[in-house]
Structure 1
Amino acid sequence: MEIQIRQANQQDLASIADFQLTMAWETESLKLDLPTVRQGVAHILNNPEIGCYWVAEYQGEVIACLLNLYEWSDWRNGNVLWIHSLFVKDPYKGQGVFRQMYDFLKERVQNDPDLRGIRLYVEKTNLNAQKVYEAIGMTKEHYDLYEWLA
């Protein structure tokens, strides 16, 4: 399946927000507030220094997205790209869409001296996603994630 990957723009805001609502419900049975999510997506689109969305298109349709946020690593003297908000529409899951998006990001990292790697986090119970990440060569590391959210 040949897809085109491009940086998202304002015209993608509604699709990305809808993807996020669907993903939250599918993965965590969490009902998100659409206006809040739309504002959050718009914030990234309007502030590229924070991060950027990438979308995958197939035959002119946006079928997937992911968000890259930057994490400065003093140990590596460069940024690590964090993958957030990854979503692939149902008919396209299992078709290699994420692998192509990941390969696209990996090439960016390899060709940009300011980028040092790629990281993501995954829900502990999402075993299917973990298998996908391992199959593309990502490794489960020794860090645990702690959080406090208001």
Structure 2
Amino acid sequence: MIHIQKATLQDIDTLIDFQQKLASESEGVTLNGDVLRKGLQALFADRNKGFYFVAKENAEVIGCHMITFEWSDWRNGMVWWIQSVYVKETHRKKGVFKLMFDNLLNILSTDPGIIGLRLYVDKSNARAMKVYEAMGMDGSHYTVYERMKN
């Protein structure tokens, strides 16, 4: 049976592995493991940065995603950004992401302070876009621009 829970520090090695695989698979990027570990440690140390949910089957972590926050003055509420979504290859197409997403919808329906969910996806990741559209998400409203500092 698969269940969804907040990640703990004990999950950090798995999260590092998953995020390295995600970066490689989705964007062809190799992440620096030391930087990633420090980033995850900073996240766990400061809940204002966000947090991870993990999907577990028995004791094995089989999927994850991070939540970060955006305040909307227009709507007077918090938008949760879904980031760093990864499901183990052996568990894909088995409804793991749907369970993780349904968990978020349940939280959204019971917490009046959370007004919506957003995510971004690499434009070349057609498979992920199909999954998100199947969950009822609309990717046609905004285009995200960025300027990163190396």
TM-score under structure 1 normalisation?
A: 0.96
For residue 148 of structure 1, what is the aligned residue in structure 2? 147
Report Cα offsets for 1:80-135 as digits up to 9, x if no partner: 00001010000001111001100100110111111001000011111111111111
For residue 73 of structure 1, what is the aligned residue in structure 2? 72
For residue 101 of structure 1, what is the aligned residue in structure 2? 100
Report Cα offsets for 1:63-89 as digits up to 9, x if no partner: 111000010000111100000101000
Question: Displacement, 1:141?
Answer: 2.9
Whether 2:61 is the aligned partner of 1:62: answer yes
Aligned partner of 2:64: which letter?
C
SS at match of 1:42: helix
Please, what is the CA RMSD of the aligned residues?
Answer: 0.8
Whether 2:90 is the aligned partner of 1:91: answer yes
Unmatched segments (≥5 aa) in structure 1: none
Task: Work out the CA distance in 1 between the residues paired with 2:110 and 2:62.
Answer: 26
Question: Displacement, 1:142?
Answer: 2.0
Identity in percent? 42
For residue 5 of structure 2, what is the aligned residue in structure 1? 6
Task: Work out the CA distance in 2 between the residues paired with 1:83 and 1:119.
Answer: 6
Task: Work out the CA distance in 2 between the residues paired with 1:69 and 1:63.
Answer: 21
